[in-house]
C-alpha cells in the first residue's frame, strides 16, 4: 500500500516569496491533515479536512497560509508571503474514516527554509 506522498521534499525561498506544497493521501483515507513542525518541537495542526470540508483550521495563519482539498483527495498548502518564522517541516497526514481514534499516517514532510 502506498503511503502519504508529499512534494517537494525540500524548498529554500526568500522571505516575502510564496511556496506551495502538495500532498496525496493514502488511497481511501477520508481525513487529511497538515501539520507544521518547527525544529525541536512537536507537530502543530494547521488544518484538518474531512473529505473536502474543513474540520479545524483554528491554528492556520489565514493572512498568509491557505489550503484546499479539491475533490476530497489531493491537497495543497500555500504560504504567501513567507516569513522567516515559517521555516519548518510541513507534514501531511491522513487517516481512514472520520473517527478521531483512527491512526494517522504521516508523509515524509516538506522541509521549508526561509532566508
Residues that bind another protein (CB under 8 A): 33, 35, 40-45, 48, 55-56, 91, 99-101, 103-109
CB of 42 to another protein, least distance (A): 4
Nearer to another protein, 27 or 103 (CB): 103
Nearer to another protein, 27 or 53 (CB): 53
Nearer to another protein, 93 or 114 (CB): 93
Residue ranges of E strands in the chain = 5-7, 10-13, 19-24, 31-37, 44-50, 53-56, 65-68, 75-79, 88-95, 105-106, 110-114
C-alpha–C-alpha distance, residues 75 and 95, integer Å: 14
Amino acid at each position: 500500500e502506498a503511503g502519504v506522498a508529499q512534494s517537494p521534499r525540500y524548498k529554500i525561498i526568500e522571505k516575502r516569496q510564496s511556496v506551495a506544497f502538495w500532498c496525496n493521501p493514502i488511497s481511501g483515507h477520508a481525513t487529511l491533515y497538515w501539520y507544521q513542525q518547527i525544529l525541536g518541537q512537536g507537530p502543530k495542526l494547521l488544518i484538518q479536512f474531512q473529505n473536502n470540508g474543513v474540520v479545524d483550521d483554528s491554528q492556520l495563519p489565514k493572512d498568509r497560509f491557505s489550503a484546499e482539498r479539491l475533490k476530497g483527495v489531493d491537497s495543497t498548502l500555500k504560504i504567501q508571503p513567507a516569513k522567516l518564522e515559517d521555516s519548518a517541516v510541513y507534514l501531511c497526514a491522513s487517516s481512514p474514516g472520520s473517527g478521531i481514534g483512527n491512526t494517522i499516517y504521516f508523509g515524509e514532510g516538506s522541509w521549508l527554509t526561509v532566508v
